[in-house]
Amino acid sequence: MSKIVAGQAGGLPLKAVPGSSTRPTTERAKEAIFSWLQSRDWLDNNAVLDLYTGSGGLAVEAASRGAASVTGVEAARKPAQIAEHNAQIINEALNRDVVTIKQLPVQRFLGSTEPSSWDLVIADPPYDIDEDELLAMIAQAFHVLMDDGLFVLETAYKSAEPIWPDDVYVVDARRYGEAMVYFVRRNGY
């Protein structure tokens, strides 16, 4: 069973998407990612965008650990419904509406979002995502990210490192089991 790892709602159980249509971030990877983010003050009172949210596990973890607002984006209906259920769990636990879920394709959401809207963008696309689609999503994510914001990307460890836009650099890259996580910022920040 999946759960919120830490923060104000740590330990609360979460609903998971049945079957193998989604690949949730492991508890170990989730704990490591959020420990990295918290130790560098990337969560407290920040606006967080969780792309390819699946069941919303990363979105609710961000909320539990102090994010001011979190939006999860998921195209598939069943995972989006489960993410909405998990968002309701965390919103009730925190006694305020922190997490919202948008059911629509990531590219459409990013294309209709104002520039510089988010402090932190987390993306956990399917490991078999088309490379052109991945690169387009990365470019769009940096468009909606604040200039001094942080982009976090989870990919398969065996996948080649993405080709990053010219004006960004990888702050850190860590392997967690089968996952590779990149922490990326714009140059000059």
User: Which spans in 95-119 are helix H?
Assistant: 106-111
Count of Cβ atoms closer than 10 Å to residue 91 Cβ: 17
Kindly give, in sequence order, each residue whose CB lies less than 8 Å from that of residue 171, ignoring residues fewer than 6 positions away.
150, 183, 184, 185
What pTM does this model have?
A: 0.93
Of 135, 118, 143, 123, nearest to 183 by C-alpha is: 123
What are the backbone dihedrals phi and psi of residue 123, each rounded to the nearest 5 degrees, phi first?
A: -130, 125
**Considering the chain, what percentage of its residues have pLDDT values greater than 90?**
80
* 25-186 placed in CATH 3.40.50.720: no
Task: Specify whether the CB–CB gap between 97 and 128 falls below 8 A.
Answer: no
pLDDT of residue 92: 95
Q: For residue 76, is pLDDT > 90?
A: yes
pLDDT of residue 8: 79
Q: For residue 4, is pLDDT > 70?
A: yes
Q: For residue 6, is pLDDT > 80?
A: no
